[in-house]
Structure formats: structure tokens, C-alpha cells
Amino acid sequence: MIPKELAKKIRYLEIYTSKAVNDCLAGEYHSVFKGQGIEFDEVREYQVGDEVRSIDWNVTARMGHPYVKRFVEERELTVMFLVDLSASGAFGSTEKLKNEVAAELCALLSFSAIKNNDKAGLIVFTDKIEMFIPPEKGTAHVLRLIRELLNFQPRKAQTNISLGIEYLGRVINKRSVVFLVSDFIEQGYEKQLNILGKRHDVIAVSIIDPREIKLPNVGLIELEDAETGESITIDTSSSRVRNNYEKLGEVQQKKLKELFQSLNIDQVEIFTNKDFVRELVKFFKTRERRKMI
């Protein structure tokens, strides 16, 4: 049995994300993620405005008047969510933790996928592979993904992005759209990410809490690394401390952007205190315009 509170949240997400998909995202998703090619659909009689190049001359000769071949986009895609749900994601200075935002974002994109008749699958990792759900279609399948994400309790605290990437490379052979969702508070995965980006269409989704970039003036506070347990006390009443912290956060985000650009991998930044639906729509529009150039 699903706990009442969890069932209530799943139902809320189903309604909220379905509305967001219908109102904002479905068209953008379809435009950005094209199918793998085109396939033959039917032969029909020629109509004014049809391309002359599409005339099927064999059928035309048999029938005595023009017929054309009709092709449609081979639409079906596989969308994989490679999600880091390590202990650093259990942080939140706003009403939602980073891991909660990651789950809701994956829910939204999953509903976008099934609305376009695509398959969706899930890999959750920490510093080990915690969960793998193979890609399938259908609302029931997406609701299972959402339930598992919302109810997930990590067995490990630390992060190993390389491990998650390598595992996906082993279990998913068909070229897919891969959303790599993480706060990317780790290093050493560049080589594996480069290989993944050559085989799949990879989008890096950075989940960021505003307090990871900027500190408030609240006096002495203790900061603890959720993955290692190490802690440090800092004085936020010092403008120098706050400025140095902000500069460090900006440098880290800049380096991350430069890494993704060097690997030709798209990135979208999702702040936990902002509307991620709007950020996704903006990202998709930018990506579509870039591909048209």
C-alpha cells in the first residue's frame, strides 16, 4: 500500500505536471526532440500542392492518374533520466529540497515524453547504482517512476557521477535523450560524460539552491557537508566572508558551464526557488533556435 501522504503528492504532481505539459511544454518538447528519421506511411492520390518529387510513378502508371508517397516522422524516442539523489540533494533553504525539485522535474518531462508516445526510463545513483527502471510507455509507467523518485531513500550518501554514466552506457544501447540531473558537486567524470555525449543526446540539468551561491547576513552558522559529515563554522555578518562565498559559488558555476560547452552538451540551470517549468520552456526555445541556425 502507498502511504496516504505519498499518494496525495503523486496525485498532485500528476495533475500539476499534466497541466504544465498541456499548457506550456508539449509543443516545445516535440519541436526540440525530433524522431530518428522518417518512415513510409501510405500511398494516396495526388492533391494540388503536393511535391512532384513525391509522386509514386509505378502506382501512377497502374492507376492511370497521379499518386504520391506519404512519409511521416519516425517519432518514438527513448528518454532516460539519470538522477543523482545523493545526500547533498537533501538540502533546501526554500520550501523544497533539491531532490524534491529533481523528482518533480523528472515527472514533468516524463509526462511530456509519454504525451509524444516516447518511452521513459530511470536510473538513480549515489556512489552506487540505487535503482534502474527500463524505459517503457504509458501513464501507469510514468506514475511508477514518480512514485519511486518521491519515495526514494538512498542507501549511500556520497556521489559518483562517473559510475552512473558508465552504467547507463551498458544498459541503454539505442541512441536516447538523456537528462543527467545532479547538483554536480563532484569532479572526475569528464571523460565518461564526453563518451556518453557522443552516443546520446545529453542534457545536463543542474539543480541549485540559492544558498549555494549567496549567503544571508545571519551571524554565525555551521555548514556541514552532507556527504562527508565535515563541518565548518563561518561568520555571515562579515561582508568579506559573504563576498568570498559568492565569488566561489560563481566560479564553480562558471567552470561547470565551460565544461559542458567544451563537451558540446546542453545545460539548463534549475534554481529551487524559481519556476522550473518556465526555465525548461526557455531552455527548449533557445535550443530550438540554435538548431535552426
Say if residue 77's pLDDT is above 80.
Answer: yes
Is residue 41 domain-shared with residue 66, that is, in the same domain?
yes
Domain of residue 28: give its range. Answer: 4-32+75-292
Let me know whether 70 and 127 are in one domain: no
29: cell is 518538447
Question: Which CATH number is 27's domain given?
Answer: 3.40.50.410
Based on the fold, state whether residues 192 and 123 are members of the same structural domain.
yes
Same domain, 135 and 244: yes
d(CA 164, CA 80): 12
Tally of domains within the chain = 2
Count CA within 13 A, CB hemisphere, residue 193: 25
Q: Rounded distance, CA 47 to CA 39, Å?
A: 20
64 and 140 in a single domain? The answer is no
> Do 177 and 220 belong together in one domain?
yes
What's the confidence (pLDDT) of residue 167? 97
Range name among 119-123, 141-145, 226-230 with the lowest pLDDT average: 226-230
* Domain stops at, among 74, 102, 130: 74
Inter-CA distances, 151 with 2, 16, 99, Å: 10, 18, 11
Do 44 and 139 fall within a single domain? no
142 and 63 share one domain: no
pLDDT at 290 over 70: yes
Same domain, 48 and 175: no
Instruction: Please state, rounded to an integer, the average pLDDT across all residues of the chain.
Output: 85
29-53 residue pLDDT tens? 666 676 555 555 578 888 887 888 8
- Residues 139, 54 within the same domain: no
Residues 19 and 42 in one domain: no
Same domain (yes/no): 95, 15: yes
Q: What is the reported pTM?
A: 0.79
155 pLDDT tier (thresholds 50, 70, 90): confident
